[in-house]
Amino acid sequence: MKTRVRIGIVTAFAAAGTWLLSSGTASASMAMVKKAKELGITSVQNCQSCHVDKLPKKDAHKLNDRGQWMVDEKVKRKAKEVDVAWLKDYVEKVKK
């Protein structure tokens, strides 16, 4: 009986850990927009500054070039979360 309880607990923690790791990509919030404005990054006005959709959903969201750059920076810097201060280093692609 104790083995079943241990297996159940381990399974629950594994499921929770998987969920937390998979949901970490979409971590944008209005607080990020506010922080960007406080830092003087005027190009950030709303969610569409980094996302395609006006109100992106946590599990279904598409990133534009700026948003993808932020995710790439997160990986490159081995950071846990995206930091809007990185946007000071972002160079807008020239549209043809």
In our burial notation (b when 16+ CB lie closer than 10 A, e otherwise), range 70-87 reads beebbeeeeeeebebebb
Q: DSSP string spanning 7-30?
A: HHHHHHHHHHHHHHHHTTS----H
What is the pLDDT, as a whole number, of residue 13?
56
Whether residue 69 is predicted with pLDDT greater than 80 in this model: the reply is yes
What pLDDT is recorded for position 20?
44
Nearest to 18 by CA among 30, 10, 8: 10
Alpha carbons 84 and 39: distance in angstroms, whole number: 9
pLDDT digits over 21-61, tens only? 444 444 567 888 899 999 999 889 998 899 998 888 877 88
Check: pTM over 0.75? Answer yes or no: no
Return mean pLDDT, the chain: 80
Beta bridge partners of 1: none
